[in-house]
Structure 1
Amino acid sequence: MATQERGVRTQVKVLEAAADVIDRRGYASASIAEILEVAGVTKGAMYFHFPSKQHIARGVMQAQTGFEDIPEDESPLQSIINLTHHLALRLQDNVVLRASIRLTIEHGSFDDVEPDSPYHWWLQRFTRRFLLAKGAGELRDGVTPEEAAETIVGSFSGIQLLSQVLDGRRDLVRRITLWWKHLLPGLACEEVLPRLCPEGTLDRVVKPR
């Protein structure tokens, strides 16, 4: 049991160190030597769990799937809004998520990491959430859950990248709020729209300037 726990701790150290290096330098410039230095583990210990740099990158990318767990709102559509705000906040303070997103965008730098997997995962999750919104009668006629999910995943990716380039993601929550203000009239039916909060309803969501 102690050996197993040490193995888990080693994996966590390597993934967190790799995330730190990749977030700062990108995948192509991230070296195994620097990852080892930041992690404080031996090369043998790292290679026991991760046979290559590509395997480390895969582990970092898969960490995206751990960021969907938030308190659910009574409104499925409000829960979708809240999730995007939650992700915006985590992109500001969680290096693993930032590195995971960067790897997904920089997929041309490597070959063996199945770069589209996170996109597929998020498309499935948002489609499921929009199906709930449709079942609750919250979506406008003609809005399909699949197309709505593709719109959210694609445009969120672009907005967070724009925010990163222009302001180091410091204004990301404000940009997400403005995005929803423009988007919701095309998604939500008229009777639901006044009850939705583009700023999100999670306690940690910061109101836009």
Structure 2
Amino acid sequence: MSRMERPMVKQDRAVRTRQAILEAAATVFEERGYDAAKLTDIVKIAQVTKGALYFHFDSKEDLAQAVIDAQVHVEPTHTPQDFKAQEFVDVGMIFSYRLKHDILMRGSARLTLDQTGRSLARSGPFHGWIDLNSGILAEAKERGELLPHVDPVATARLVVGAYAGINLMSQTLQGSDLDEQVSTLYTLLMPSLVIPAVAVLLDTLPGRGGRALGALAPDLGAAADIAPEEEVAADTEGDCPSCRTDAAPGVPAA
């Protein structure tokens, strides 16, 4: 390996290690919430040292915030459609699909709705989803797809709030299918938002999220639960000098 290649390999290794830590953290946060989550369990699942964790994240709070913020950066949120109203539906349906198949999104959603860890900034995902939805609805209105009375911003805020409530209920009620509940939300809501000629053409059926992603990229539509990479433990030695130890110098154990 040449000297020029080594920094790139090291950087790629660090990116994979950071992602493995995030996904392991999401697993623990989803299961236990913020207060009960322990860093010792996170490093065990991620198969990294505490030194590696503290190299990428300053504290449990910093790590939790990174998991929350993952929602804001998820891509794609929707795919191009003939009607903007369908793209509006797809935002929610694709996210419900991701919540089923992506542990990082589930952990992020749990922390966003969790009222423990009050120092965490939870408003980012809400503002992000509201802005995204209101923007799509505004385009739909410009195209004449929406009924005259529909306010894109007010509607977006209502839908994001309803979605959060459905997600919380789904977490609380064992056996509640989030995808079916989100499908019902859009099936009942859309006729009151869009003109009849558009309403009859919208796909709001369960599984829409997977179908929309599959049309864009088959590997996205057939995603499986994401697990930390098995080789990460071996990779951490190249991340930072302190990653080879059990804990970063001067940092107390969780």
CA distance in 2, matches of 1:36, 1:162: 30
Is 1:195 aligned to residue 201 of structure 2? Answer: yes
Over the aligned positions, Cα root-mean-square deviation in angstroms equals 1.8
Report the AA paired with residue 163 of structure 1. Answer: S
1:68 CA drift (Å): 4.4
State the match for 1:120 in structure 2: 127
CA distance in 1, matches of 2:12, 2:173: 42
Report the AA paired with residue 197 of structure 2. Answer: E
Q: 1:101 to 1:203 in 2, by over 3 A?
A: closer
What secondary structure sits across from 2:146 in the alignment?
Answer: coil
State the match for 2:32 in structure 1: 25
1:168 CA drift (Å): 4.2
Equivalent of residue 78 in structure 1, options 79, 86, 96:
86
Query: Does the CA-based 8 Å contact 1:67-1:87 persist in structure 2?
Result: no
**Correspondences of 1:13-162 after superposition (within 5 Å):** 13-69=20-76, 70-111=78-119, 113-162=120-169
CA distance in 2, matches of 1:83, 1:14: 27
Give every structure 1 segment of 4 or more consecutive aligned residues whose post-TM-superposition deviation is greater than 4 Å: 200-203
1:54 CA drift (Å): 0.7
Query: Does the CA-based 8 Å contact 2:29-2:107 persist in structure 1?
Result: yes
What secondary structure sits across from 1:198 in the alignment?
Answer: coil
Q: 1:167 to 1:204 in 2, by over 3 A?
A: farther
Report the AA paired with residue 58 of structure 1. Answer: Q
Q: Which structure has the larger Rg over C-alpha atoms?
A: 2
1:130 CA drift (Å): 0.8
Is 1:11 aligned to residue 18 of structure 2? Answer: yes
Query: Does the CA-based 8 Å contact 1:122-1:153 persist in structure 2?
Result: yes
Query: Does the CA-based 8 Å contact 1:14-1:35 persist in structure 2?
Result: yes
1:194 CA drift (Å): 1.9
1:203 CA drift (Å): 5.4
Q: 1:194 to 1:17 in 2, by over 3 A?
A: same
* Structure 2 residues without counterparts, runs of 5 or longer: 1-6, 213-254
User: For residues 81-120 of structure 1, what are the alpha-carbon distances to aligned partners after superposition, in whole Å with 9 as ceiling and x for unaligned?
Assistant: 1221111111112111011001101144230x31111111
Q: Which has the higher contact order (CA 8 A, sep 6+)?
A: 2
CA distance in 2, matches of 1:184, 1:106: 29
The percent of aligned pairs where both chains have the same amino acid is: 34
CA distance in 2, matches of 1:92, 1:202: 11
State the match for 1:180 in structure 2: 186
1:43 CA drift (Å): 1.2
CA distance in 2, matches of 1:110, 1:15: 20
